[in-house]
Amino acid sequence: MTVITPPGMLSASAGIFWRNQLHLRRRPAMVVAILTDPIVFTVLIGFVFGGSLGGQAYREYMVAGLFTQAAIFTASYTAVGLSLDLEDGMVDRFRTLPIPRLAVLAGRTTSDLVNRSASLAMTALCGLAVGWRPHTGPLEIAGAFALCLLFAFAMSWIGAFVALVTPNVQVATSLGLFWLFPASFVSSGFVVTTTLPGPLQAVADWSPVSGLGNSMRALFGNPPPPGYQVPHGWAAQHPITYTVCACALLIILFAALSVWRYRRRTNR
């Protein structure tokens, strides 16, 4: 029996990570989607809908929502990538190697996190182009991006679990997108939750997506436009603490579920 040590675990994860990065050359459509999605959503939400929601003041408010949306869609990106590896037999090849199950999944999620950072950078450029500006110092701005990456990492583990419970890429793609749009919009990402009806408002107030959006606005110094009535619950008043706790819980839960499901699926 091969004993896996922590350095061996890191080395195996790094190898999977580098393989995934090199494999992007064969999947240019994913690279195009990473870079173009922020542009599409900026134009759609900022100009198609933004004109009736507050104009320039709203466009500065919505950029935090664009960041949260870019982060949450990491789940779909991971679900599709891991499903392709499962379907084309790459994971079966990994089974022949003396590496832990977690290394395969950790290599996938960390590589997707690095790739998603390119989408966040494009989102920031789009925000700057439409008039968004941070009004705080470099530490707060860096903290906002770090929190967004932590949230994206948590979403990537959800995507890994989705890939492992679905039979093929088509189902993983559909299931991966099925919940993402409701999660993005039933939140404070693009509207204040006080405008939602009772049950939806309760869901949105405690959504981790709302926590991330509120945290980034606080760290960037982007208050809601005049006249927006903000919620006063605990999660809204302590968004950074709430988001960090929610991300930690999601990572622990879905990493454990993904490893369990990976063992079941590969019969190891």
pLDDT the model gives residue 53: 62
Task: Give the pLDDT mean for 140-148.
Answer: 96
Q: Which residue has the higher pLDDT, 37 or 99?
A: 37
Number of H helices, E strands in the chain: 13, 0
- C-alpha 17/C-alpha 24 separation (Å) is 11
Q: Using the structure block, give the residue that is written with the tokens 């939602």.
A: 196
Per-residue pLDDT tens over the stretch 79-97: 988 888 888 777 666 666 6
pLDDT the model gives residue 3: 44
Q: Which residue has the higher pLDDT, 32 or 250?
A: 250
The pLDDT mean for the chain works out to 83
Q: Where are the domains of the chain?
A: 23-266
Q: What's the DSSP call for residue 5?
A: P
Per-residue pLDDT tens over the stretch 148-172: 999 999 999 999 999 999 988 888 8
pLDDT the model gives residue 236: 86
pLDDT the model gives residue 251: 96
The candidate with the shortest Cα–Cα distance to 68, out of 253, 265, 247, is 247
pLDDT the model gives residue 107: 85
pTM of the model: 0.88
Q: How many CA atoms lie within 13 A of 45 on its CB side?
A: 25
